[in-house]
């Protein structure tokens, strides 16, 4: 059987260029997907930080944390409280 390059020597060049161009297209698609996802993540982070927290919101959260701490302290048995050192 005759080699492909024996029939036409340009077939080898066509084959190599076809593989290189196909590889570049696949890499380009892969990079485009990564860039798109990065932009979406950046926009999501910007939206999260664009909402400024007011002092009242912080105060309400601190009150809630204090209330939860007090509830937890009430649940600690009194005899174990003596053994706990901070």
pLDDT digits (tens, 9 = 90+) for 16-69: 999 999 999 999 999 999 999 999 999 998 887 777 778 888 999 999 999 999
Q: What are phi and psi of 6, to 5 degrees?
A: -70, -35
Residue 51 confidence (pLDDT): 73
Residue 86: inside a domain: no
Residue 27 included in any domain: yes
Q: How confident is the model at residue 79 (pLDDT cuts 50, 70, 90)?
A: low
Over residues 1-20, the pLDDT tens digits come to 566 666 787 888 889 999 99
Q: Judge whether 13 lies within some domain.
A: yes
Gap between the Cα atoms of 63 and 70, Å rounded: 11
Q: For residue 17, what are the domain limits?
A: 4-81
Q: How many domains does the chain have?
A: 1
């Amino acid at each position: 059987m005759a080699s492909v390059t024996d029939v036409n020597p340009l077939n080898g060049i066509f084959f190599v260029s076809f593989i290189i161009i196909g590889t570049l297209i696949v890499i380009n698609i892969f990079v485009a997907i990564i860039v798109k996802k990065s932009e979406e993540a950046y926009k999501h982070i910007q939206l999260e930080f664009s909402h400024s927290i007011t002092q009242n919101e912080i105060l309400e959260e601190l009150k809630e944390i204090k209330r939860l701490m007090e509830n937890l302290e009430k649940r600690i048995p009194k005899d174990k409280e003596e053994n706990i050192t901070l």
